[in-house]
Amino acid sequence: MRKAFRLYFLVDTLEYLQKGGRIGKAAALVGSLLNIKPILSINDDGEVFSVDKVRGQKKAMNRILELLRQELDGQPIHLSMAYSTDRSTAEELEALIRQHFEVKSVQYTHLGPVIGAHVGPGTVAALAAPA
């Protein structure tokens, strides 16, 4: 069942990835100056990995949609949205996904302080599975 799920999350700031040792100071500085938004996921071993890097929040959300469309091919889906501080960003991503998928159900969850400490404020995640 875990293989059917697709998880992508978008980190708003590189500061917390840098503080946690996931990226170097130089990469965080350059990425911040260029408004780079990494799109991350988690592999089968539970390790976070970079899927892509996009400039700007809107482009990053569109890239997440593109990845979901490639993998789930327009199937009806169940959707879970997670956010660290701002639910409206998650709602914006949900609305974008709904434009291209038949969403059978959606639920929201708040990322806890442990995950939030690693990814920082403004993080949003979409978890989709075939219905």
SS3 content of the chain, % helix, strand, coil (to 5): 40, 30, 30
* Beta bridge partners of residue 129, listed in sequence order: 78
Can you tell me whether residue 22 is helix, strand or coil? coil
**Beta partners for 75?**
none
pLDDT for residue 104 is more than 70: yes
Residue with tokens 């998928």: 101
pLDDT digits (tens, 9 = 90+) for 28-82: 788 888 888 999 998 888 888 889 999 999 999 999 999 999 999 878 999 999 9
Query: Do residues 76 and 129 lie in contact, with contact meaning Cβ atoms separated by under 8 Å?
Result: no
The better pLDDT of the pair 115, 102 is held by: 102
CA–CA dist 124, 131 (Å, integer): 22
Where does the pLDDT of residue 13 fall: very low under 50, low under 70, confident under 90, or very high at 90 and above?
A: confident
- pLDDT band of 89, cuts 50, 70, 90: very high
Residue 77 vs residues 22, 40, 84, 105: alpha-carbon distances, Å: 31, 20, 23, 7
Quickly state the pLDDT bin for 1 (edges 50, 70, 90).
low
Q: What is the pLDDT of residue 127?
A: 95
Could you tell me which residues come within 8 angstroms of residue 99 by beta carbon, excluding any fewer than 6 positions away?
A: none
Q: What is the mean pLDDT of residues 86-105?
A: 95
5 pLDDT higher than 70: yes
Encode pLDDT of 15-33 as tens digits: 777 887 777 888 878 888 8
Give the mean pLDDT of 100-115.
Answer: 92
